[in-house]
Amino acid sequence: MDSKKGEQKPPSGPEAAGSSGTTTGRKTFISGVVEGFYGRPWTMEQRKELFRKQQKWGLNTYLYAPKDDYKHRMFWREMYSPEEAEQLMALITAAKEHDVDFIYALSPGLDITFSNPREVATLKRKLDQVSRFGCRSFALLFDDIDADMCPADRKVFSSSADAQVSLTNEIFQHLGEPETFMICPTDYCGRFCSPSVSESPYLRTVGEKLHPRIDVLWTGPKVVSNNIPVESIEEVSRVLKRAPVIWDNIHANDYDQKRLFLGPYKGRSTDLIPKLKGVLTNPNCEFEPNFVAIHTLATWCKSHVNGVRKDIVMAEGDNSGMSTQGKGEEDNSDEEQEMDELYSPRQALKLALAEWLEEFGAPHQYATPEEPMDTDREGAAEPRAPEAPQDVVTPMQTDEQAGWEPYAPGPQDRPLYTAEALTLDDLTLMADLFYLPYEHGPRAVRMLQELHWVRTNAGVLSHRGKETEKAAEWRSRMEEFVEMYEAVNKMFTRVCNSANRSIVYDLYPYILEIKSITSVAKQFVEWLGSHTESSAQFLSGDQEPFSFKGGLTGEFQRMLPNDAAHDLFRQPPSCQTYSVRPYFTKDEPAVREICRETHSEGGASRACPPHPQTMEDRLMGVPLGFGPDYGFVLEDENGVCGYALGMIHAEAFLTKDEKSQARSASEKTPKPSSGKEVSGAQGAMPSDCVKGEEGEGRNLPKTFLGRFPSLIKAQIHPKVVDTAAPRSMMGCLLTSLKDGGSHGAFCAVRQTDTRLLDLYSKLGGFEEVKLEAAQKDVVILGKSL
């Protein structure tokens, strides 16, 4: 394959078909694209552009199966209107002109009654209509449907597989046993087969009863298969009694449209090619970003031509795919061949990106010979409009036609904006940021690693005095992460300035989001300074990729201190701006003042004593042995207006040195007029807290403290009406406790303090925990971290 524009000769005939894969019996290896995703279908012009690319790259098949084309699936019984028929005929003709086999698929499984002759006749009538459009290849799809049969079908068929196979065989014969005919079974991947692939009654029925010339579509071990082992294909082939056609969802993004996949075709050994009937990729919903997915599939297919394996390498200074066979040793590459020595996904990606780069610089309108863009060609029959007088500027004149001199800024003027050209490095970075469902590209991984390291090692900056070697390393790696962000920002700007707006519009929402979240991450690492200590959460387990959302964006969000990452630093409400920052000892007077004011607002039975030994006092004290990352304050333009404080090990804290605390509290707390002594524990805690050694530590069961080991205290001044900022503050505290090793936190609130109850429950997600030992006027709230 020569990927340079203008140098590729369109393949034709049997040899060209063979160039996209091996010849397997009656027909060539099926290779191409299935438009089978959920979401807005591609336009007719996009499909014609796809056919042109498929011919150029040697892919021979297109399967028409857009889930949201309502006459393909939901209203499959309806015939096409004359206008729709004309479009489909034009599309089928365009596919033939580019040597692409157009497969029309119908998905009747949502509501068909298999045993009803009228239903079968309706299906035949619909496919007969498409056959008259010139289509010669067909497929019936029974994926993503309820496998339970209706009562009428249960009287006729032994199973849903029996019903589907019976109908498929009848339609196949009705259409004259076309050369290409496919079925997508309901159990289309290994995960859906019960109890296993080899013992699946459903697959056994398909294998035994389906006509041997009908191909079966299969997605691999999973719906979205990270890898498709050769052994898994051999197993399913034995059960189906035929080699399957892979419907490959490795680049599909319809299950999570915050993700886009620009990585190479990967996780499929070239040893699979002779064991398959074909491979069709079901790519991203957006048309333009599928350049890489389709191009790299074509490269993969070329690694095994007519049973002869070939290397696909990248020659220095050339974008061509070349075979190492028949070449001199000087053409061999020493590049890393990854897991498959005959196909390198990374090199295939370079081939695709190098060719894609050319398209970014060329405006693209999907113009076709039938719809020319130039309506003023020489010899056109339409008369020209009379020329306007030279002194009159017509509305559609260009500056050059009007004789208008281009603007040239003077020495004191602002210079003209010059757009930087998009580079191959920019596209490589973008591909790494939007790689594949189960992995990120190398540069994206590097960004995550650096953010993880900077976050988890931020504590080294808390040392006073001379900066340590570890602190210097931290600052260096923080700057490295900032530089990585700058590269993302430059990529975003250059892509947005590209001439091909069709590509830009498809990419824009994705690159904007990744640019925005990396910007927040950059601000976060700069904000970390010497205040916090963090950890990361990474992908793990053997889940399908749709078990979690967000891809790389989601990982960045999970590594930031709260779910609402954009509210982390400043959240502008309608009339006030707030900020969240770590608590410092200088904030003690302001925190005490909020404590007093909110106790008064909440209707406390007594005023706070002049020097109350409250939990806040004990959290603020230097001898407690913990850093300010367990405390956060909320500020407005007038100062501190809220706080969230926490102790990670509540049991030790609440029972520590009880006698000394009691003596201290007794000295500082005036005796009541009744003359009765006030216990140290009672003086040490306000009325909204569970008591300590003589109440708190004793009354909280060990099981409770094992579940909720951390104690927190939060309060917001009544003047704060915005909820986003307090939620951010609470999120920062809870994340700090979690990163410190806690798996749960609790707090105590007076039953009458509804405002504080709302703060904990609505903004922090706390729920009431019933404890028999708790004071009757106190509500205990807990939250797992």
Active site residues per annotation: 144
Number of Cβ within 10 Å of residue 687's Cβ equals: 17
User: Is the CB of residue 578 less than 8 Å from the CB of residue 636?
Assistant: yes
Locate tokens 């509804």: which residue? Answer: 754
* Nearest residue to 244 (alpha-carbon basis) of 298, 171, 183: 183
Helix or strand or coil: residue 579? strand
What lies within 8 Å, CB to CB, of 636 at 6+ separation is: 576, 577, 578, 720
Token digits of residue 6:
């203008």
User: Is the CB of residue 783 less than 8 Å from the CB of residue 709?
Assistant: no
CA distances from 703 to 515, 699, 706 (A): 45, 11, 5
Cross-strand bridge partners of residue 712 = 646
Q: Is the peptide bond before 195 cis (omega within 30 degrees of 0)?
A: yes
Give the pairing type, strands 570-571 and 578-582. antiparallel
User: Is the CB of residue 759 less than 8 Å from the CB of residue 725?
Assistant: no
- Alpha-carbon span 80 to 68, nearest angstrom: 15
How many distinct helices (H) and strands (E) make up the chain? Answer: 26, 22
Spacing of C-alpha 622 from chain mean position: 44
CA distances from 452 to 338, 481, 516, 565 (A): 27, 10, 18, 16
Token digits of residue 620:
């603020």
Locate tokens 């619909």: which residue? Answer: 126
Token digits of residue 701:
């069961």
Cross-strand bridge partners of residue 748 = 780
CA distances from 386 to 383, 389, 398, 602 (A): 9, 9, 17, 83
Token digits of residue 613:
């030994």
DSSP class of residue 439? Answer: B
Cα dihedral 328, 330, 335, 339 in deg (nearest 10) = 20
- Alpha-carbon span 526 to 698, nearest angstrom: 43
User: Is the CB of residue 183 less than 8 Å from the CB of residue 210?
Assistant: yes
SS (H, E, C) 207-260: HHHCCCCCEEEECCCCCCCCCCCHHHHHHHHHHHCCCCEEEECCCCCCCCCCCC
- Alpha-carbon span 31 to 54, nearest angstrom: 9
* Nearest residue to 447 (alpha-carbon basis) of 555, 345, 561: 555
DSSP annotation string for 451-481: HHHHHHTGGGGG--SSPPHHHHHHHHHHHHH
Cross-strand bridge partners of residue 215 = 182
Token digits of residue 616:
């806040």
DSSP annotation string for 16-76: HHHTTS-EETTEEPEEEEEE--SSSPPPHHHHHHHHHHHHHHT--EEEE--TT-TTTTTTT
* Nearest residue to 144 (alpha-carbon basis) of 75, 219, 251: 219
